[in-house]
Chain A
Amino acid sequence: MSASLWGRFTTRATTGLRPSASRFPGISTSVGTPPAARPRMFSATGIAGLALLSFLAALAVLGPILVPWTAADRDFEAFLQPPTANHPFGTTASGGDLLVLTLLGLRKSLLIGFVVAVAATTVAALVGAFAGYFLGWVDRTLMWVTDLLLVIPAFLVVAVVSSGHDDWIALVVLLTAFMWMVTAKAVRGATIVMRDRDYVKAARFMGVPSHRIVLRHVVPNLASLLVADATVNVGAAILAETSLSYFGFGVTPPDVSLGSLIADGAPTALYAPWTFWWAAGLLIALIVAVNLVGDDLRDRFDPALRACA
């Protein structure tokens, strides 16, 4: 069946996920016993990531309010100026203040990243848990749809459909539609193991309806996997949004995102570096922060990986 195949080879390693060694077909890892002492909440790198992420989030929320300029303002005395006291990040070719534009872009990228990640992980949890719990034709149908969505180039569909919509909500829905598949496969695998656990069996023999077993007993017990995956998905969603916006298919004017700012800044980056580097730097910092937190959560979830770290 193709389901096992995809589960084996499709990883989201590009987003900074440390590929699980147990996913390698040739090698079996023994899952170590968890340490006796209660593990700390976060490792040093996790705390660093969390701090950076909070700082960027605060900047995105509060920054645009504190800056005296707005996205629509044009300073007709300063076209394409390097950073000055008046414009700490410099100005664009049409006199827009880059500080406020970059902060608004950061806000939009963060918002899209988080909403898409939460929505995609929710879909993944439901599809994966139902497929893994019921098996049979439910499983075959759901996994066939999952494979189909994996085969269709996501970039193409999102670009085609969103070129007709200017709404960023439409973009969120589209990105979500193409982001849940890999997590759903992982959830399905975990559910198949879980459906033979005693507490699930007990609920079944007590006559609890199947859909309630899935929602009340299976999904909540996968919480650690889901939280870790949602965090990794934030980075993936931001990266996807960036390349779409770069080509003008994602966030469209008057909205700005870090991707559209990078697209605007790239042609002038050689002689006006401030139009490119602020947005690019903030974007990289944002992804680094998200990946640091995500990797940390993942290590805590999978003790077998901690040995390698």
Chain B
Amino acid sequence: MVRLVNYTALIVVASSLAWLLAAVTLDPRANYAGRTPAPPVAVVDAALSEVNLNDHDPLLDRYLTWISGVARGDFGRTWDGLSVGADLADRAGVTLRLVTAGLAVGALLGLTVGTLAAVHHRRWFDRVSGAVVFLLLAVPAVVLANVLILGAIRFNDATGARFLMVSGEGAGGALDRLRHLVLPALTLALPLAAVFSRYQRNAMLDVLDADYVRTARAKGLPRRTVIVRHALRTALIPTTTYLTFTFGALLVGSTVTETVFGRPGLGQRLITAIQTSDVNTVAGITAVAAVALLLSAVAADVLQRVLNPGRAR
């Protein structure tokens, strides 16, 4: 219970800080500056006051308006009058699909590679996969995304079929969505797989040395059974916990991927919100990110207790 109160306080303070910071730094008035018949100051003031973005109103008043709105579940409006809550709810689905796909592929790949590397410890597979993982960890997301785009264009040219799409979300059926999902999901999945495989390899190496694994071998169980039934099951516990935690961090961590691939998700909105000085949207995304992060931290903790009751403290 104490922790729940503490987390709620963290979420409130984090989004308030983000709102205040954005309100002080960003300048929504700039959105009107470029118009050719320059709109009268009074009109701009009225329009900005309407959405609680007028920097001539006292900061405290604007903050109170915003926070009381949030308490009622209303995240305010963007500079051109749209509801932030509805916008973010739409985008959350797009981001959720991407993160789920990326995490699933990355986890599967990482766990497989990590387990095999541990089983073939210090043999060629371990060494090769170790080198590949090391290289992947050094490639920034922006470079990886662009390299995948270049590769996809070459691939499409070579095969003549335009299967892989490099931009947007896809409006058509499931196949169209899939075509747009492959590359951004890979951009998320490859670095994740690299991290997971390192975790899994270390966890497996620890377990393979354990006494109960040796006992299982000694009583005559085949090597494969011992590795899968005894070692892998135990080694999966810490990695699964870490995986759950990553899910929350990724919800906003996919900013780069979404922007490069032009997917209309939360991360991409973050960039455009800063560019158009949408104070309320910036604060809203911070709140979503904080909630996601803390929820997944709690989920990871619960999962760990369920999977490993002996260690519960």
Contact = CB atoms under 8 A, between A and B. Distances in A.
Interface of A: 1-2, 5-6, 9-11, 13-16, 18-19, 21, 24-27, 29, 144, 147-148, 150-153, 155-157, 159-161, 163-164, 235, 239, 242-243, 246-247, 249, 259, 262-263, 266, 269-270, 276, 280, 283-284, 287-288, 291, 307-308
A270 B142 contact: no
Given A155-B255, A270-B150, A270-B153, A288 B282 contact: no
Given A153-B289, A160-B26, A246-B256, A283 B304 contact: no
B216 to A, nearest CB: 17
Interface in B110-165: 134-135, 137-143, 146-147, 150, 153
B286 A2 contact: no
26 contacts: A9-B300, A13-B199, A14-B137, A19-B195, A25-B308, A26-B234, A26-B238, A26-B311, A27-B203, A153-B270, A153-B286, A155-B255, A156-B285, A243-B140, A243-B141, A246-B256, A247-B259, A259-B142, A262-B143, A266-B146, A269-B146, A283-B143, A284-B138, A287-B140, A288-B138, A291-B138
A172 to B, nearest CB: 18
A284 to B, nearest CB: 5
Given A9-B241, A243-B142, A16 B137 contact: yes
B282 A156 contact: yes
Contacts of B234: 26-27
Given A18-B198, A152-B18, A157-B21, A239 B140 contact: yes
B14 interface: yes
In this complex, the interface size class of chain B, counting residues with CB under 8 Å from chain A, is 35 or more
Contacts of B205: 21, 307-308
Contact of B198 (A19, A152, A160, A280): A19
- Of all A-B residue pairs in the complex, the 3 with the closest CB atoms, nearest first, are A24-B238, A287-B138, A9-B245
A160 B22 contact: yes
B181 interface: no
Q: Which of B22, B206, B237 has the most CB atoms of chain A within a 10 A radius of its CB?
A: B206
Q: Which of B18, B134, B139, B140 has the most CB atoms of chain A within a 10 A radius of its CB?
A: B140
Majority secondary structure, B binding face: helix
Given A9-B245, A9-B297, A152-B290, A263 B206 contact: no
B142 A246 contact: yes
Contact of A288 (B3, B11, B134, B301): B134
Contact of B139 (A1, A259, A284): A284
A110 to B, nearest CB: 15
A246 B207 CA distance: 42
A230 to B, nearest CB: 18
B146 A276 contact: yes
Nearest to A163: B274
B14 A148 contact: yes
Interface in B1-32: 3, 6-7, 10-11, 13-14, 17-18, 21-22, 25-26
Contact of B25 (A9, A161, A280): A161
Contacts of A6: 297
Given A2-B6, A21-B206, A243-B256, A16 B13 contact: no
B140 A160 contact: no
A5 B238 contact: no
